[in-house]
Amino acid sequence: MTMSQTRTASATYTTTDVENVVRRVKADLTMIADSTGTWTAAEAANYAHDIEVLAKAGYLAWVDLTLLQYGVEKKAVRFNVDTDAGGLTTSRPGGVLWPRLSGATLRIVISYTADYTDEARRATSGKLKIGWTTSYDDTSHSSLSSSGGRNYVSCAYGMQRKDWAA
């Protein structure tokens, strides 16, 4: 008779770890907003605020930000939440000085975890600054090419950023 050994591990992180990671995401959002001229710093801060609220509660799966020119994708980033990111090395924010284009807009789409139930929506609605609505936009970025990315990590909490460009 052979004996098998099983091991379980649980990722541990605190709200401070989430804040540290979201601070890096906010820096990226602010750089993108400033370089494209499409959002104010206050708008970028409001999006970062909601990202942090949802992330701290465990409701955030990913954030996708796309630069569109007259509706055509030019650049994009996606921040995928990783709650077991302890093996990743953290990066500094940056590499997102996007072009200032005529007719440009930024689209931000967030995806929730399965834990974001109707009850969770009611509990967080008063804490959010953005009036989020359902999006059916294609965020696959199939018209763009992958162009690298970065990892933002604090203890076991992280967000892996994937970049695309035309």
Instruction: Per-residue pLDDT tens, the chain, 166 aa: give them.
Output: 444 443 334 558 999 999 999 999 999 999 999 999 999 999 999 999 999 999 999 999 999 999 999 999 999 999 999 999 988 898 999 899 999 999 999 999 999 999 999 999 999 989 999 999 999 999 999 999 999 999 999 999 999 999 999 9
Domain assignment present for 9? no
Domain assignment present for 3? no
Domain assignment present for 82? yes
Q: Which two tokens stand for residue 74?
A: 């030019």
Which pLDDT does position 4 carry in this prediction?
Answer: 41
Q: Which two tokens stand for residue 142?
A: 């199939």
**Distance (Å, whole) CA 51 – CA 22:** 7
Domain assignment present for 122? yes
Domain assignment present for 7? no
Answer yes or no: are the C-beta atoms of 28 and 96 closer than 8 Å. yes
| Rg of the Cα atoms in the chain | 17
Which pLDDT does position 86 carry in this prediction?
Answer: 84
Residue 137 C-alpha from the chain's centroid: 16
Domain assignment present for 73? yes
Domain count, the chain: 1
Answer yes or no: are the C-beta atoms of 123 and 59 closer than 8 Å. no
**Distance (Å, whole) CA 1 – CA 11:** 33
Spatial neighbors of 117 by CB under 8 A, at least 6 apart, are none
Domain assignment present for 121? yes
Which range of residues forms the domain containing residue 29? 15-96+106-129+143-165
What are phi and psi for residue 137, nearest 5 degrees?
Answer: -65, 145
Domain assignment present for 49? yes
